[in-house]
Amino acid sequence: MEERIIASKGLYTEFSRKGGAAPTATHYCPGCGHGIIHKLMGEAMHDLGIQDRSVMISPVGCAVFAYYYFDCGNLQVAHGRAPAVGTGVSRAEDNAVVIAYQGDGDLASIGLNETIQAANRGEKMAVFFINNTVYGMTGGQMAPTTLIGERTVTCPQGRDPGYDGYPLHMCELIDNLSAPVFIERVSISDISHIRKARKAIRRALEIQRDGKGYAFVEILSTCPTNLGQNAEQSTRFVNEQMEKEFPLGNFRDLADQTEPICRADSVFKKKAIDDLFNLDTGSSPDAVLDPSFPEVQIKAAGFGGQGVLSMGLTIAHAGCVAQRFVSWYPSYGPEQRGGTSNCSVVISGESIGSPVVQESDVLVAMNRPSLEKFAADVKEGGYILYDSTIGECSIPEGVTGIAVPAIRIAGDAGSEKAANTAMLGIMLALGITGLSAQNFKAALSATFSGKPKLIPLNHVVLESAVSWANENL
Amino acid sequence: MATQLVKGNTAAVIGALYAGCDCYFGYPITPASEILQEASRYFPILGRKFVQAESEESAINMVYGAASAGHRVMTASSGPGISLKQEGVSYLAGAELPCVIVDIMRAGPGLGNIGPEQGDYTQVVKGGGHGNYKNIVLAPNSVQEMCDMVIQGFELAFKYRNPVVVLADGVLGQMVESLQFPEVAVMPEIDTEWAVSGTPETRNNLVSSIFLDFNQLENFNYELQEKYETIKEEEVEYEDHMTKDASIILVSYGISSRICRSAVDQARKEGIKVGLFRPKTLFPFPARELKEIAASRECTFVSVEMSNGQMLEDVRLAIECSRPTELVSRMGGNLITMDQVLEKIRKIAAEEE
Amino acid sequence: MSGKKEPYPVINIIECKACGRCITACPKSVLLMSTALNERGYHYIEYTGEGCTGCANCYYTCPEPLAIEIHIPLKGE
């Protein structure tokens, strides 16, 4: 006689990863809700035809061994990190159906941040949150969802909000976010609740099948062992006490008006990467070994906005164009964002040792604090170029100090902002860097390639500064 | 060959792009932030995946997810962030997942400051998280190597199914130098033997680091140790600069090694027989090579590092304390100067006479 | 065996942990707890042998995925 059989689907027919004396029985305690939920999820995965696509993420907690049971790809992950791991899987594999299975400690305590943030990004994953108000695996400690007055081994007198805070309402928290597609709280306390839970679980997985985004199902569940209840008491506890604190119901279902999220395929072609960096047009010739070229160490300093870092980069570019070895190293972090900034530039005929200039051949100081800070580190025979607006200042013995009207030269040419370029002109005129006018002009063109209008202006400033130097020095 | 001036942090991202890395997850921290920023700029244009994670823990666990799916995935951080990632790194090692982590070291402990340091040596080279595991650790000393070692890192990560750390510092991350762009772009393939990618071929796979049975876990640990022994046999890399006849051997990696090279060149001009031994792999540490030097002649080893002798311990272990060892170090964000190294070299040379 | 085509549960005794949830869930009260123990030392559920309507309440309520199956004969020739 033909029969219709209602039996477990989507789960393994034997739990060989578990093994032991009864490889077809779960590792869960009698009356535990996990097995009921596993069955509902497995059935939905099977019926929706998504087992091949599914990646089940087992948490840390009693369901740490969820991978014993679910017939699909399985990951076991660190405590509370399932939504982050799920994000990684989902982004890497757009077609994967990511399912996170988490208890109350895992999801609402140690993993609260991951939970909220993955929900807020609307990651494509279904999160099943098993709330039974207690830590199971570790032996009955207080959970973030433990009820007021409920006794656990770490609140033996009952949870006292004055000391332990209040139960966390995860559906309500997540319902404050814009991205989630589906949020529902159900219970598996008894058969009528189980049937409703079955629908919600199926809905959350349908949304994953269709790639529509984040679905969250909180399932009020039973932990007879740790709460010292029998089947009937555990059912009553969920129905009468938990439901009062955690009202059941659908908070959100936007599946019908939500479009699937489709992410792009990764491109690995070399040409595509080369083009990102304009390698065909934007490359320099390689440096050429030339030990006869005297190494030049330059320090440029000023306050933020004076363009000392970009000036340094332009010198480095010029060196690069001239096929010299170059390095540039900036001050970075808060120092750069407020107050003074500086950079080191080294131009050499050989590969460069330290890129950090301790003693410079040239110091370019755009303001007084910079000059005072670095003047003593200029080598004998070296130069200090400083803006003439700084006024009187003491230059160390054996060092040539030049007050350059850089701001004026730049202003006359059209923009005071190009004062840093004027300093380059002085260096060029003095021949300090061993680089040519062509090198500097090419470097300026590269520096301002994003703002081509500024290229002629900077070339003019460079030339004006050279003229000033030729006339005055 | 295409060459451009590139920042060290950017070079790491360029390396990742050519290495076939298609997932980047990270969290901002100075002086590593440009890696995150450049990834956010370039990855999406190529359809590759980028997420600014909510925390370092999340970033490393996103790495765990994408690595589980068989993809080439990278993250980067600096000291405090690496400390936070250690849980995830232990899980990656335990689940034998490949990935590349770039550490742009800054000064600690605690919040410390953002200046360059090499104080993450121990937490990165020795494992760092819980359990008997090792990371493969590569130590670049130039912008070029920031790129090249990320590429090499992915090869090693997948060859051994093991996390790889590219251990650099604030100077290497922030400095600009010429970079010769890679000549090859890797077309990655998913290994369906172990990956869990949400596909029919990978449906029966499990990525996990849990072994309930003590003996099983012990056996797994022994297997890991065998893997590390193979890595020690096969993957040691170092650079030798004038150590052949040297009686003073500077041992230094990263930015410190460049200062050492300048110091060696200067001291050689003064007639002092000094050389530089630069480990390019910190795990595996080139212990055998150092031991051979120690056995071949009387000499003094000087560990030059921006940390409190963390690498010096490995030098001593490598040479089994058979020769005198010295330390030249700076901490707190300060760089070692050439003069400081020269002073030590001259002092040892004077004592030798 | 009567010719009547009635649904019936199949109980895999070794998997039962005697939590008793199915007994509460059964609308026809046709499931009982055994007095004997299974080989793992638990009491287990027994079907009285008639009265099952195939509602599957026991299947869905049972925490052990493989412990209960419901067989429903199909109408036909």
Mutate to test the interface with B, among A327, A337, A351, A352 (most CBs of B within 10 A): A327
Phi-psi region of A242 (alpha: psi -120 to 50; beta: other; left: phi over 0): alpha
Nearest to A75 among B44, B196, B199 (CB): B196
Does residue C4 register a pLDDT over 80? Answer: no
| Residues B8, B173 contacting (CB under 8 angstroms) | yes
Percent of chain A topping pLDDT 90: 92
B251: CATH: 3.40.50.920
Over residues A77-87, the mean pLDDT reads 98
Cβ–Cβ contacts within 10 Å for residue B189, how many? 9
- Number of domains forming the structure of chain B: 2
Nearest to C14 among A22, A231, A235 (CB): A22
Q: Which residues of A touch C1 (CB under 8 A)?
A: none
Closest approach of A85 to chain C, Cα-based (Å): 27
Query: Does any domain span residue A9?
Result: no
How do residues B297-348 score in pLDDT, each as one tens digit? 999 999 999 999 999 999 999 999 999 999 999 999 999 999 999 999 999 9
B273 shares a domain with B168: no
CB contact under 8 A, A53 and B61: no
Nearest to A21 among C24, C40, C65 (CB): C40
Number of residues assigned to chain A: 473
A72 shares a domain with A121: yes
- What does residue A389 show for φ and ψ, rounded to 5 degrees? -70, -15
Does residue B282 register a pLDDT over 90? Answer: yes
A303 shares a domain with A222: no
Mutate to test the interface with A, among B10, B190, B203 (most CBs of A within 10 A): B203
Percent of chain A topping pLDDT 70: 99
| Residues A419, A307 contacting (CB under 8 angstroms) | yes
Of A229, A257, A285, which residue sits at a domain end?
A257
Cβ–Cβ contacts within 10 Å for residue A304, how many? 14
Question: How many angstroms separate the CA atoms of C17 and B284, rounded?
Answer: 52
What residue in B sits closest to A68 (Cα-Cα)? B206
| Residues B17, B42 contacting (CB under 8 angstroms) | yes
Query: Does any domain span residue A39?
Result: yes
Q: Which residues of A touch C66 (CB under 8 A)?
A: 7-8, 11, 13, 24-25
B285 shares a domain with B198: no
CB contact under 8 A, B335 and A282: no
Cβ–Cβ contacts within 10 Å for residue A247, how many? 12
| A223 in contact with C, Cβ within 8 Å | no
Question: How many angstroms separate the CA atoms of A31 and B107, rounded?
Answer: 54
SS3 B167: strand
pLDDT band at C76 (very low <50, low <70, confident <90, very high): low
Query: Does any domain span residue A13?
Result: no
The predicted structure's pLDDT at residue A335: 55
- Burial of A369 by CB count in 10 Å (0-12 exposed, 13-18 middle, 19+ buried)? middle
Cβ–Cβ contacts within 10 Å for residue B269, how many? 8
Query: Does any domain span residue C2?
Result: no
C38: CATH: 3.30.70.20
A233 shares a domain with A97: yes
Place of tokens 């679910």: A70
β B274-279/B238-241 pair status: antiparallel
How do residues A213-238 score in pLDDT, each as one tens digit? 999 999 999 999 999 999 999 999 99
Nearest to B198 among A87, A97, A270 (CB): A97
**Neighbors of chain A with 3 or more C-beta pairs under 8 Å:** B, C
Question: Which tokens go with B111?
Answer: 């919040």
B251 shares a domain with B192: no
Of B174, B204, B234, which residue sits at a domain end?
B234
Least confidently predicted of A450-464, B10-24, B245-259, C3-17 = C3-17
Which is more confident, B2 or A298?
A: A298
| Residues B46, B21 contacting (CB under 8 angstroms) | no
| Residues C74, A4 contacting (CB under 8 angstroms) | yes
A154 shares a domain with A303: no
Which amino acid belongs to residue A210? D
| A28 in contact with C, Cβ within 8 Å | yes
Provide the strand spans (E) within A118-259.
Answer: 126-131, 182-187, 215-220, 249-253
A299 DSSP assignment:
E
Count Cα neighbours of A57 within 13 Å in the Cβ-side half-sphere.
38
Torsion of CA A305, A306, A312, A317, to 10 degrees: 80
CB contact under 8 A, A283 and B3: yes
B163 shares a domain with B180: yes
| A96 in contact with B, Cβ within 8 Å | yes
**176-215 in chain B: CB under 8 A from chain A:** 176-178, 180-181, 184-188, 196-200, 202-210
Of B201, B234, B267, which residue sits at a domain end?
B234
- Number of domains forming the structure of chain C: 1
How do residues B156-215 score in pLDDT, each as one tens digit? 999 999 999 999 999 999 999 999 999 999 999 999 999 999 999 999 999 999 999 999
Looking at every residue in chain B, the average pLDDT score rounds to 97
The predicted structure's pLDDT at residue A332: 81
Nearest to A194 among C15, C17, C61 (CB): C61
The predicted structure's pLDDT at residue C11: 97
**234-293 in chain A: CB under 8 A from chain C:** 235
Provide the strand spans (E) within C1-77.
Answer: 8-11, 31-33, 45-47, 68-73
Q: Which residues of A touch C62 (CB under 8 A)?
A: 35-36, 39
| Residues A197, A41 contacting (CB under 8 angstroms) | no
Chains A and B touch (3+ CB pairs under 8 A): yes
Percent of chain B topping pLDDT 70: 100
Place of tokens 């009955």: A140
Cβ–Cβ contacts within 10 Å for residue A229, how many? 17
Question: How many angstroms separate the CA atoms of A213 and A171, rounded?
Answer: 16
SS3 A32: coil
How do residues A47-62 score in pLDDT, each as one tens digit? 999 999 999 999 999 9
Q: How many CB pairs under 8 A join A and C?
A: 104
**Neighbors of chain C with 3 or more C-beta pairs under 8 Å:** A
Nearest to A353 among B42, B197, B262 (CB): B262
Place of tokens 């840390």: A60
Over residues A373-386, the mean pLDDT reads 96
Of B234, B259, B290, which residue sits at a domain end?
B234
Question: How many angstroms separate the CA atoms of A426 and A448, rounded?
Answer: 20
Over residues A452-461, the mean pLDDT reads 96
Q: To 5 degrees, how large is the angle CA A242–CA A248–CA A251?
A: 135
CB contact under 8 A, A231 and C20: yes
CB contact under 8 A, B5 and A85: no
A197 shares a domain with A171: yes
A282 shares a domain with A208: no
Print burial letters for C44-67: b (CB count within 10 Å at least 16), e (below 16). bbbbeeeebebbbbbbbbbbbbbb
Question: How many angstroms separate the CA atoms of A326 and A345, rounded?
Answer: 7
The predicted structure's pLDDT at residue A237: 97
- Number of domains forming the structure of chain A: 2
**Neighbors of chain B with 3 or more C-beta pairs under 8 Å:** A
How do residues A205-219 score in pLDDT, each as one tens digit? 999 999 999 999 999
Q: Which residues of B touch A45 (CB under 8 A)?
A: none
Taking alpha carbons only, the member of A371, A471, A463 closest to residue A422 is A463
Order the strands of the A3-6 sheet from edge to edge: A3-6, C68-73, C8-11
How do residues B129-153 score in pLDDT, each as one tens digit? 999 999 999 999 999 999 999 999 9
Closest approach of A49 to chain C, Cα-based (Å): 19
B260 shares a domain with B222: no
B204 shares a domain with B81: yes
B122 shares a domain with B106: yes
Question: How many angstroms separate the CA atoms of B179 and A289, rounded?
Answer: 16
- Domain region containing B24: 3-234
SS3 B119: coil
Taking alpha carbons only, the member of A79, A194, A62, A45 closest to residue A130 is A62
Instruction: Please list, in sequence order, all residues whose beta carbon lies within 8 angstroms of the beta carbon of residue A134, skipping any fewer than 6 positions away.
Output: A104, A140, A141, A142, A143, A146, A152, A223, A226, A227
The predicted structure's pLDDT at residue A21: 80
A355 DSSP assignment:
S
Query: Does any domain span residue A251?
Result: yes
A313 shares a domain with A249: no
A279 shares a domain with A409: yes
Query: Does any domain span residue A355?
Result: yes
SS3 B145: helix
**95-154 in chain B: CB under 8 A from chain A:** 95, 114
Least confidently predicted of A1-5, A462-466, B121-125 = A1-5
B203: CATH: 3.40.50.970
Query: Does any domain span residue C25?
Result: yes
A402: CATH: 3.40.920.10
pLDDT band at A337 (very low <50, low <70, confident <90, very high): low
Instruction: Please list, in sequence order, all residues whose beta carbon lies within 8 angstroms of the beta carbon of residue B298, skipping any fewer than 6 positions away.
Output: B247, B323
Helix (H) or strand (E) holding A385: strand A378-387
SS3 A321: helix
Question: Which tokens go with A105?
Answer: 């400690």
Instruction: Please list, in sequence order, all residues whose beta carbon lies within 8 angstroms of the beta carbon of residue A102, skipping any fewer than 6 positions away.
Output: A59, A61, A63, A80, A82, A111, A115, A127, A128, A129, A130
Over residues C2-11, the mean pLDDT reads 83
Q: Which residues of C touch A69 (CB under 8 A)?
A: 65
A433 shares a domain with A400: yes
Closest approach of C38 to chain A, Cα-based (Å): 11
| Residues C28, C51 contacting (CB under 8 angstroms) | yes
Least confidently predicted of A126-130, A145-149, A263-267, A391-395 = A391-395
Percent of chain C topping pLDDT 70: 92
Over residues A411-415, the mean pLDDT reads 94
**CA B317 to chain centroid:** 20
The predicted structure's pLDDT at residue A22: 85
Of A224, A257, A290, which residue sits at a domain end?
A257
A200 shares a domain with A324: no
Does residue C1 register a pLDDT over 50? Answer: no
Does residue A175 register a pLDDT over 90? Answer: yes
| Residues A363, A319 contacting (CB under 8 angstroms) | no
Nearest to A273 among B46, B66, B204 (CB): B46
A115 shares a domain with A217: yes
Which amino acid belongs to residue A116? I
Instruction: Please list, in sequence order, all residues whose beta carbon lies within 8 angstroms of the beta carbon of residue B344, skipping any fewer than 6 positions away.
Output: B302, B326, B328
Does residue A282 register a pLDDT over 60? Answer: yes
- Burial of B40 by CB count in 10 Å (0-12 exposed, 13-18 middle, 19+ buried)? middle
- Domain region containing A113: 34-257
B155 shares a domain with B13: yes
A40: CATH: 3.40.50.970
